[in-house]
Amino acid sequence: MEKVIDVLDRMYPQFNTVSPHHAVSDALYQMCCENVDYLIVLADEKFLGILTEHDIAKKALLANMPLTEMKVSDLMNREVPVATANDSVSHCMHLLDRYNTRYLAIYDGFDFKGVISSYDLIQQSINKRKVAFGQLLERNEYP
């Protein structure tokens, strides 16, 4: 059974981080430059939450303030479900479904390891099936 740490190991290092005191406009610009739809919010190397495009669109409209005056801490999502590095991919998919979210914070003990998204887990499942399908074709076991 594949573990979450295997998924994280195959991903690029996660540099898409922002501090909670940055302006939301700067965070949005960073998302555009890095071509990501979320930023990991860290303070002193401690995970505080994530800021997603969805959070900005939903909460900024309600606040009716310019994005340059809003801080990341005003809009970030602090309630991100947590999984451990040794949890299975299927368990993480279950957590995403249960909490109706697209992101999980991954910890190894008390050490923050990164964030995985539903997209990351889907890609992992697709790649695993491609390998299995390719092995069946090589052995002529698939009609």
Q: What one-character-per-residue DSSP string does 79-123 give?
A: ---EEETTSBHHHHHHHHHHTT-SEEEEEETTEEEEEEEHHHHHH
Residues composing the chain:
143
Domains of the chain: 4-138 (3.10.580.10)
Residue bearing tokens 């919010």: 41
Q: What percent of the chain has pLDDT over 90?
A: 46
pLDDT, tens digit (0-9, with 9 covering 90-100), for 28-85 = 999 999 889 999 999 988 999 999 998 888 888 787 788 888 999 999 999 999 999 8
Residue 130 has pLDDT above 70, yes or no: no
Residue bearing tokens 């451990």: 84
